[in-house]
Structure 1
Amino acid sequence: MIYFILYTALVASYGLSLFVEAEWLHYLTGGIAIVAVAVSFPKANRLYQGTAAVFLCIAAGVAWTEKLPVSDYPLYMTSMVMLIMVFYVLPFINSVIVVGRYDQKVNKLLKTNITHLGQLYRRAAGVSFLIGTFLNISTLPLVVSVLRRNLQGQAARLSARFISSAMLRGYALCLVWSPMELLVAISVDITGAGYLELLPLLLFFALSFLLITMITGHKYRHTETTIHAEDVNMGPVYKKIAGLSFFLLLFISAIIGLHDLLPISFLETVALVIIPFSFGWALVIGRIRSFLIYGIRNWKARTGSLQNYIVLFLSVGFFIRVLEESAWMEYLQYPFMYLEGVPILLFLALQVMFLGLAMIGFHPIVTITLAGEMLQPLLGPISPAGAAIVLITSGLSTVMAGPFNISVSLTGMLLHQNPYRVSLWNLPFAFMFSTGGTAIALVLQYM
């Protein structure tokens, strides 16, 4: 309960500071953030503890050498509270999908009219693509449970590779254009590119790579198997998919409309829209009572387990803000400025940076935050829209090939496979995925 109360106080004070310009409120938010990190540290995963400790120690060393006033430290702790705010409200929209039974209906696509493994592969990628936008990481156990029943007669290695490939590719592609995906929202805020400007390009990218995924899955069509198909009335399934698409369109419209009205970042707008939109959605589909019961319970449980994110992201935020106040930021920006005249090398360097750092345990949000600071002097000569697309596709390539990324580690755990093995299976597609983003960025750069 202490974690829930502390994190609620942190989000509430930060949310109030978006509309009330008062210095004491910023100090209050920073003070709560410091307490939250200290209290959460013992409960965080060792990887997050280690990474956060490194960032905090470096930041403290830089702050001491630059003689930054200690009284400003609380203000340096607030730069990434917005991420915690999004994690805090996400359970509400996840809950609407569950109580509205959208996940169950869409999942029936994996249980009917399947004649060979190639078809199952395409369905798995498609289902991950359809429900991943709202269910996020909860999509993975849901899809795995159904696929494993249909692959019981296959060798364990073939089954694991099949599931991880189809599921993670579909999941990554649904995140590419989702306004709820943090890497998308952060990229919009870093580059200043409009989400409406990026959306058609990101949808084109996602649908193109979904088609590639469907085609590559055709190689499994000759694999003999016993498919446990069910005779399912598909009418209600298609109706749920249409309803899901309608509410997604409304959600995007609400975010864009509010972002135009309020002087806040895109990411902060997403966080503000989620709760009222979720309540309205549950009310329209007549599931408000179930939503309140399940949603509040889910929200409390998820909020009380944010220790890893609190420790990592607030520590990184402190590190970035301290660097911004020092001369060290110029040195870190220099390698990127050196590549300013050769955009293709700059974009390829970002691709390698995301995948390389993911392999040693860096969270993609940490990487994108660092990359964003280094790219700031280049925005102008480098197309902001192109830079945003490279950041998004490079960051999301780690969803398939980052052994410490939660999607890969969870998939490895569910399939009883080493996360590095899952990453290596998907690494070629992940690099092709980010290269596709680079190709679009280059077209925007030179058109």
Structure 2
Amino acid sequence: MKNICKMALLVITFLHVIKLFMPVNLELLTFFTALLFMLGLFMQKKGFRTITLIFFALGISILVYYKLPFPLWISSLTSMTNIIAIIVVMQLFAIPIEVGHYSDTIEYWLKKLFKKESSLYLFAMLVTNLFSSFLLFGTVPVMVSLFNKALKNNVRDHQRFFATAIMRGYALVLFWAPGAVIMLLVMQVTHVSWSQLFLPGLLLSIIGLLTSYGLEHFSGLNKSIVTKPLPETSSVAQNAPKQTAHIILVVIALLVLISLFEAFSIGSATGRILLAGLLVSTIWIVSFFKNAELKSVLSLYWKGGITQATDFSVFFIAVGLFAGAVDHSGILSHIQPLLQGSVNHLGLYSIIIIPLLFILIAVCGIHPLVLAVMFGKILLAVSLPLSSVSIALILTLSASISFIISPFAGMSLMTAKFLNVTPMEVSLKWNLLFCTIFFNRRTHFCLCLAWIVERFCHTFIIV
């Protein structure tokens, strides 16, 4: 069953790469999508399986009730398989990270440069932010292996230190990282391009990182730490500058390639991210062709790494079916007058109420990825005094905060598991104050600046 799921994931990814240059057989894509869904359900964790089945049942019910034609069933079922392909490709970046022992480089800089808890905290957030841009959910185990030993030995309350740095560093990359799942969903729902979101999203991310650093620094995180640096003659010390340059170059290459593909109108918005990720990860892996460890790491990836995408893949198939059914059924047109009346009554306050409602529902257990689709459809159905880019930023902001403070979100559960603490500690106890500050006046200011950046880009760059 696992091998069939692996093959289905690879075929879906391959078909979406081919689709960038020529039409693909829709029946073939539908077959492997259905195959992955049916077999993948048995491999899903219980929590994911429940929410997947709920949205699948809702989608089927809407399609049947409104007697929608079968071609719409097929297009809805495969509507989010492009996101599945991107998840599979982005997981490839874990291979060169493991083969090249880049974790040793991070440990070297950690021991060499940082003498205060606050500066180490900022470093941990920045490294998490950088790695999350291409490792996504795989960032947590990598960060734990990088920092855990050093933090245990040198930082008081190291679990809180680590949990907040990881959660905030990861969540704040969602504003600009081209491979982030929430970014892809928001782009798909709001029909905006990554280049339109990058600059305002990066601005929000930077201010979020600085807010987090300031909060921790002024709340007492300023104790000196003692670390024993590695000898400058060691191979790790000699390779550190070069490997640091590799990581930075990978991120820059991803961003530049996506921008170039967009400038030359190559593929769709998500297709450009898929192609850029595939090219950069492949080149990085090939650069280790002569490394003796490559074969064993590739073998481990095939045995277990690629199947990590199954949970999300099956989930996205169900959500895609539901979103397609809602799109074509006309359900939103029935509730649009009520929504429009509420928005008209609230006016600009709706910009505050919508993210708050999103976050509160997420804290109650509904996954932020599901809410991004649902709220995106609703917001685009009503007339708001906002552009599509501003709506996309609001959705991303809401999802980012939800990923931090929801004890049911995957990042909270994963971080809690690796640090041997509870999800409630990771989410609400340690991160609620930061999320409140970030969401408050600073965020409204950020959104205003983001709107200005968006207008500037539209006027002077796009035009």
Q: Secondary structure at the match of 2:112?
A: coil
- The answer (yes or no) to whether the contact 1:97–1:134 under 8 Å persists in 2 is no
1:173-211 C-alpha deviation (Å, 9 max, x unpaired): 233221121222333343344433432322222222222
1:347 aligns with 351
- The answer (yes or no) to whether the contact 2:200–2:451 under 8 Å persists in 1 is no
Query: Shift of residue 70 of structure 1?
Result: 4.5
Q: CA RMSD in A?
A: 3.1
Q: In the superposition, relative to structure 1, how do residues 334 and 235 fare at CA in structure 2: closer, same or farther (>3 Å)?
A: farther
- The answer (yes or no) to whether the contact 1:62–1:323 under 8 Å persists in 2 is yes
2:91 aligns with 91
Alpha-carbon separation, structure 1, partners of 2:33 and 2:448: 40
1:272 aligns with 275
- For the pair 1:439 / 2:442, whether they are aligned, the reply is no
Alpha-carbon separation, structure 1, partners of 2:328 and 2:49: 25
Q: Secondary structure at the match of 1:230?
A: coil
Q: Which moved more, 1:436-445 or 1:79-88?
A: 436-445
Residue 372 of structure 2: which of 364, 368, 374 is its match?
Answer: 368
Structure 2 gaps, min length 5: 456-463
2:249 aligns with 246
- The answer (yes or no) to whether the contact 1:193–1:385 under 8 Å persists in 2 is yes
Q: In the superposition, relative to structure 1, how do residues 78 and 353 fare at CA in structure 2: closer, same or farther (>3 Å)?
A: farther
Which letter maps to 1:204?
L
1:260 aligns with 263
Q: Which moved more, 1:126-135 or 1:12-21?
A: 12-21
Residue 420 of structure 2: which of 416, 422, 430 is its match?
Answer: 416
1:58 aligns with 58
Q: Which moved more, 1:198-207 or 1:44-53?
A: 198-207
Query: Shift of residue 306 of structure 1?
Result: 2.9
Which letter maps to 1:34?
A
Q: In the superposition, relative to structure 1, how do residues 339 and 270 fare at CA in structure 2: closer, same or farther (>3 Å)?
A: farther
Query: Shift of residue 144 of structure 1?
Result: 3.0
Query: Shift of residue 371 of structure 1?
Result: 1.9
Alpha-carbon separation, structure 2, partners of 1:443 and 1:115: 34
Alpha-carbon separation, structure 2, partners of 1:269 and 1:223: 43
Q: In the superposition, relative to structure 1, how do residues 179 and 80 fare at CA in structure 2: closer, same or farther (>3 Å)?
A: same
- The answer (yes or no) to whether the contact 1:59–1:318 under 8 Å persists in 2 is yes
**How do 1:13-412 residues align onto structure 2 when only pairs under 5 Å count?**
13-21=15-23, 25-70=25-70, 72-152=72-152, 158-219=157-218, 227-231=226-230, 233=232, 236-262=239-265, 264-283=267-286, 286-290=287-291, 293=295, 294-295=297-298, 297-298=300-301, 301-334=304-337, 336-341=339-344, 344-378=348-382, 381-412=385-416
Query: Shift of residue 4 of structure 1?
Result: 0.9
Q: Secondary structure at the match of 1:10?
A: helix
Alpha-carbon separation, structure 2, partners of 1:332 and 1:108: 57
Q: In the superposition, relative to structure 1, how do residues 39 and 214 fare at CA in structure 2: closer, same or farther (>3 Å)?
A: same
2:433 aligns with 428
- The answer (yes or no) to whether the contact 2:407–2:427 under 8 Å persists in 1 is yes
Query: Shift of residue 113 of structure 1?
Result: 4.3
Q: Secondary structure at the match of 1:304?
A: helix
- The answer (yes or no) to whether the contact 1:116–1:224 under 8 Å persists in 2 is yes
Which letter maps to 1:165?
T
1:11 aligns with 13
Alpha-carbon separation, structure 2, partners of 1:280 and 1:20: 23
Total equivalences in the alignment: 442
- The answer (yes or no) to whether the contact 2:116–2:224 under 8 Å persists in 1 is yes
Alpha-carbon separation, structure 2, partners of 1:437 and 1:299: 42
Q: Which moved more, 1:159-168 or 1:308-317?
A: 159-168
Query: Shift of residue 139 of structure 1?
Result: 2.7
Q: Which moved more, 1:389-398 or 1:219-228?
A: 219-228
1:248-294 C-alpha deviation (Å, 9 max, x unpaired): 222211112123334633222111222222222345xx423448633
Q: Secondary structure at the match of 2:329?
A: coil
Query: Shift of residue 138 of structure 1?
Result: 3.0
Which letter maps to 2:447?
A
Q: In the superposition, relative to structure 1, how do residues 347 and 130 fare at CA in structure 2: closer, same or farther (>3 Å)?
A: same
Query: Shift of residue 348 of structure 1?
Result: 2.3
Q: In the superposition, relative to structure 1, how do residues 118 and 380 fare at CA in structure 2: closer, same or farther (>3 Å)?
A: closer
Alpha-carbon separation, structure 2, partners of 1:151 and 1:380: 47
Q: Which moved more, 1:78-87 or 1:247-256?
A: 247-256
Alpha-carbon separation, structure 1, partners of 2:136 and 2:107: 15
Q: Which moved more, 1:426-435 or 1:199-208?
A: 426-435
Q: Secondary structure at the match of 1:325?
A: helix
- The answer (yes or no) to whether the contact 2:203–2:450 under 8 Å persists in 1 is no
Q: Which moved more, 1:359-368 or 1:216-225?
A: 216-225
1:318-343 C-alpha deviation (Å, 9 max, x unpaired): 11111122132224555553455556
Which letter maps to 2:438?
F
Q: Which moved more, 1:292-301 or 1:63-72?
A: 292-301
Q: In the superposition, relative to structure 1, how do residues 344 and 419 fare at CA in structure 2: closer, same or farther (>3 Å)?
A: farther
Alpha-carbon separation, structure 2, partners of 1:162 and 1:270: 33
Q: Secondary structure at the match of 1:269?
A: helix
Q: In the superposition, relative to structure 1, how do residues 445 and 122 fare at CA in structure 2: closer, same or farther (>3 Å)?
A: closer
- The answer (yes or no) to whether the contact 1:108–1:232 under 8 Å persists in 2 is no
- The answer (yes or no) to whether the contact 2:187–2:193 under 8 Å persists in 1 is yes
Q: In the superposition, relative to structure 1, how do residues 403 and 334 fare at CA in structure 2: closer, same or farther (>3 Å)?
A: farther
Alpha-carbon separation, structure 1, partners of 2:249 and 2:72: 46
Which letter maps to 1:281?
W
Alpha-carbon separation, structure 2, partners of 1:247 and 1:305: 23
- The answer (yes or no) to whether the contact 2:83–2:184 under 8 Å persists in 1 is no
